[in-house]
Amino acid sequence: MIEQIKPKLKKIIKKRYRVERNDVHVDKAIDGVGADYYSKEAFLLAKQLRRKPLDIANEIAEDWKSSQQYSVGSKMEANVAEPGYLNFNIDDGLLHENLADILKQKNKYGHPREKRELKVLIEYFQPNIAKPLHIGHMRSAIIGDSLFRINALCVDEIGSDTHMGDWGTQFGILLYAYKKYGDDKIIKTDPINELNKLYIKANTEIEAKPELRELAKAEFVKLEKNDKENRRLWQQFVKWSEERFFEIYDLLDIKKHKHNWPESFYEDKMPAVVEKLKAANLLKESQGAQVVDLSEHNLGTAIIIKSDGGTTYLLRDLATYLFRKQKGYSKQLYVVDSRQSHHFNQLFKILELLGELTQDDAEHIDFGFMSLPEGALSTRKGNIIELEKLVNEAIQKAKKTIQDKNPQLENSDKVARQVAIGALKYFDLSHNRHSDIVFTWEKVLNFEGNTGPYIQYTHARLHSILRKAHEMPLTKSFEFKFDIERDLLTFLSIYPSLIQTASFKSEPKVLTDYLFGLASIANKYYQEIRILEEENKAVRKSRLALIQGTVQVLKNGLALLGIEAPEEM
């Protein structure tokens, strides 16, 4: 419904004020204001045009009325409320039509009719070989996976990449260490952590005896020059690490990446970038290094090539962006924790100076730090085994709760897994991306409140009503009479617009907030209103239809977060 209001509002604003809006604001109205939806657009325009919001709201309402020939317009009234809100009232018939639409479209309900003309690349997870994962990698995987699912519905084409960290001078140190101390038997037991131990050992050694650094550097040079033995070893490191990373995808139920373009992929693509920077007069020497001076933009100095001739992470990122752009990606999203903001600001600025990037072509989807309970996964020591431990602990805890609540449940192991993974993901996604969050089992696995288990549980409860009904819900000509029914219908009707908003803002929280609101009303509904016991058949079957519509939307919404919706739990 909101997606029917939005384009019309957009048109009016454009025509009358010559203002082009990406996404106009319309939302479900708060209870008790006597409207179904409202918009704050008049306030936004007032600021921009330096006029009174109330006057603008009146003008828009007038234009709305005079365009009654639109079929939607005739069933939707626009009114003005002080000091400048636009309120929309909608005909019951439209809400009923929308419910029928949900029941017909099922899994597809909410999918935008038109997709934005964009080819988006979304990058997430980004582990580094031979290095333990940290909680940031897990957050990136969860947020990125959800944004991938959301954007897959909203844009023409979508791809994903993980930009695995497998290149750089540190691999010279690792090769040096492996040759000196490596023991495959030990490494195979836990490749990533054992390789990391070797690396740390060699690093400490080098710190004590700096002359060893030359040996390590020489190993990387040999690798770069395609030395057979070093290539073979490095490939082995990559393989060992990748195998472990794939286990994490499965563990967290994260979509595999469409592309596999790791950092090493850009090895032969970097020289051309250096030439490009030179040609644009951006490169200069500073203490033996090749840098781009960004002080004019308050972004300091960006190192492109180190004084020892080594290429940098930044240079690889420049090559990465340009390569993907060449592959047709018109927008690139980098889901990486906020500690790398400076890096991405430098990257985007240099690309802008090269004339390769304008405003919305790239975005750093940053997120804050998640602190974990003592002993669960210490971030500094954090390794894959600990991440697995965290997930397994969640599964054990979920299993226990489910056993208490529903001892007869069949395939309770599967459900426990769905609940545990859902709880971890929902917890991550339901917080403002930018803020730091504190993990507690209490909050994550709670069956009450704004949590994954609460939404899943509501879904399962509603499902059991449908199972017990032994009759089919109506598919049209519904009969409703309570306010809460209208409220639920209105709530269901805004779902499609929220998918778009979540995509525009790259913020899955838009959906968790919505699902929590929907689940709360739905819970109230079946507690307060008789459904199966209702005697009038048409009324009873209308209520079942409303329950079924709600079940569908809860399920669809969870799917966009990468969370499953078990039918029983």
Site of interaction with ligand ARG (CB under 6 A):
123, 126, 128, 163, 165, 317, 320, 334, 336
Write the single-letter amino acid at 187: I
Compare residues 173 and 560 and give the one whose CB is closer to ligand ARG.
Answer: 173
| Least distance (Å) between residue 318 CB and ligand ARG | 10
| Least distance (Å) between residue 266 CB and ligand ARG | 10
Compare residues 103 and 315 and give the one whose CB is closer to ligand ARG.
Answer: 315
Distance set, CA 306 to CA 228, 289, 290 (Å): 26, 5, 7
| Least distance (Å) between residue 262 CB and ligand ARG | 9
Q: Which two tokens stand for residue 453?
A: 């288990």
| Least distance (Å) between residue 177 CB and ligand ARG | 20
d(CA 447, CA 457): 7
Compare residues 320 and 418 and give the one whose CB is closer to ligand ARG.
Answer: 320
- At residue 548, the 3 state secondary structure works out as helix
Residue 83: asked if its preceding bond is cis (omega within 30°), the reply is yes
Instruction: Give helix 384-405 / helix 228-252 axis angle, nearest 10°.
Output: 20
| Least distance (Å) between residue 133 CB and ligand ARG | 8
| Least distance (Å) between residue 123 CB and ligand ARG | 6
Which residues neighbour 358 within 8 Å (Cβ) at sequence distance 6 or greater?
Answer: 352
d(CA 242, CA 417): 24
- Residue showing tokens 């909608």: 90
d(CA 545, CA 537): 12
d(CA 394, CA 443): 12
- Residue showing tokens 């209103």: 529
Compare residues 147 and 545 and give the one whose CB is closer to ligand ARG.
Answer: 147
d(CA 149, CA 153): 7
Compare residues 265 and 478 and give the one whose CB is closer to ligand ARG.
Answer: 265
Longest dimension (CA), the chain: 89
Compare residues 128 and 383 and give the one whose CB is closer to ligand ARG.
Answer: 128
User: Nearest-CA neighbor of 148 among 496, 561, 555?
Assistant: 561
Distance set, CA 303 to CA 38, 164, 299, 339, 356 (Å): 50, 21, 12, 18, 19
| Least distance (Å) between residue 315 CB and ligand ARG | 11
| Least distance (Å) between residue 362 CB and ligand ARG | 10
Distance set, CA 31 to CA 212, 450, 490, 509 (Å): 71, 20, 11, 22
| Least distance (Å) between residue 138 CB and ligand ARG | 12
| Least distance (Å) between residue 163 CB and ligand ARG | 4
Compare residues 334 and 457 and give the one whose CB is closer to ligand ARG.
Answer: 334
Compare residues 17 and 323 and give the one whose CB is closer to ligand ARG.
Answer: 323
Pairing of strands 76-81, 37-39: unpaired
d(CA 230, CA 14): 62
Compare residues 151 and 312 and give the one whose CB is closer to ligand ARG.
Answer: 312
Compare residues 336 and 522 and give the one whose CB is closer to ligand ARG.
Answer: 336
